[in-house]
Copies of this chain bind each other. A is one copy, B any other.
Amino acid sequence: MSIYVVGHQNPDTDSICAAVTLANLKQELGEDVEAIRCGKVNAETEFILDKFNIEAPKLVEKLNKGDEVFLVDHNEASQAIAGLEEAELTGVVDHHRIGGLETSGPIYFRNETVGCTSTIITKMYKENNVEITDEMAGLLLSAILSDTVIFRSPTCTEEDKEIANELASQLGLDVEEYGKELFKAGSVVNVLSAKE
């Protein structure tokens, strides 16, 4: 059975896009993996998936005994998909504080002090010499702009900016303009609620 790649509960754009792109990278490298999500896709992420013509990953609410799982965009058990303690954890790619995770054996664990998991995944494509398709570039760019609030968050680094600018230039997108479009799409629900 495939190894699941999954972001945190109550997924934001980075959790969905990092799962989809890391699964894509691993598939290109010949691994049997599948991106999943453990919660609802928010309005911003829905806009992004539509724009780049990618289906939302399958919803899995709880892992079962024997499932293998790779976590992205979180490393704390309390934020993870239900049933994690029953499953076999095979890896983590994240950019948050280290949160007390314990495993019985060694696993791949990569945490970097950058603004977005998708920045690290873009580096992983490059390290493995795997071409980033426009669809995947779109998801990676969107996640970086979302997590760093278009480079304005205190967690944003030069590396996030460089990588986002490279991805934007591959896609012929203007970072500021597209970023604002993204945040507008994400706030539709709030705007509508406010109007009611």
- Which A residues fall within an 8 A CB radius of B? 95-113, 127, 155
Q: Is A97 touching B102 in the complex (CB atoms < 8 A)? A: yes
Q: A109-B111, A110-B110, A111-B109 are in contact. Are A101 and B98 (CB under 8 A)?
A: yes
Q: Is A108 touching B111 in the complex (CB atoms < 8 A)? A: yes
Q: Tell me the minimal C-beta distance from A156 to chain B in angstroms.
A: 13
Q: Which of B98, B101, B106 contacts A113 (CB 8 A)?
A: B106
Q: Is A97 touching B101 in the complex (CB atoms < 8 A)? A: no
New A-B pairs, 20, CB < 8 Å, besides A98-B101, A106-B155, A108-B112: A97-B103, A97-B104, A97-B106, A97-B107, A98-B102, A98-B106, A98-B107, A98-B109, A99-B102, A100-B100, A100-B101, A100-B102, A106-B113, A107-B111, A107-B113, A108-B111, A108-B113, A109-B109, A109-B110, A110-B111
Q: What are 8 A-B interface contacts by the 8 Å CB criterion?
A: A96-B106, A97-B105, A97-B106, A100-B101, A106-B155, A108-B111, A108-B112, A108-B113
Q: Is A111 touching B100 in the complex (CB atoms < 8 A)? A: no
Task: Give A57 to B138 CA distance when docked, in angstroms.
Answer: 47
Task: Give A40 to B115 CA distance when docked, in angstroms.
Answer: 40
Task: Give A111 to B104 CA distance when docked, in angstroms.
Answer: 14
Task: Give A102 to B97 CA distance when docked, in angstroms.
Answer: 7
Q: Tell me the minimal C-beta distance from A144 to chain B in angstroms.
A: 16
Q: Is A95 touching B106 in the complex (CB atoms < 8 A)? A: yes
Task: Give A74 to B139 CA distance when docked, in angstroms.
Answer: 35
With a cutoff of 8 Å between Cβ atoms, the chain B residues found around residue A107 in the complex are 97-98, 111, 113
Q: Closest 5 A-B residue pairs measured CB to CB? A: A109-B111, A98-B103, A100-B102, A106-B113, A97-B103
Residue of B nearest to A111 (CB): B109
Q: Tell me the minimal C-beta distance from A181 to chain B in angstroms.
A: 28
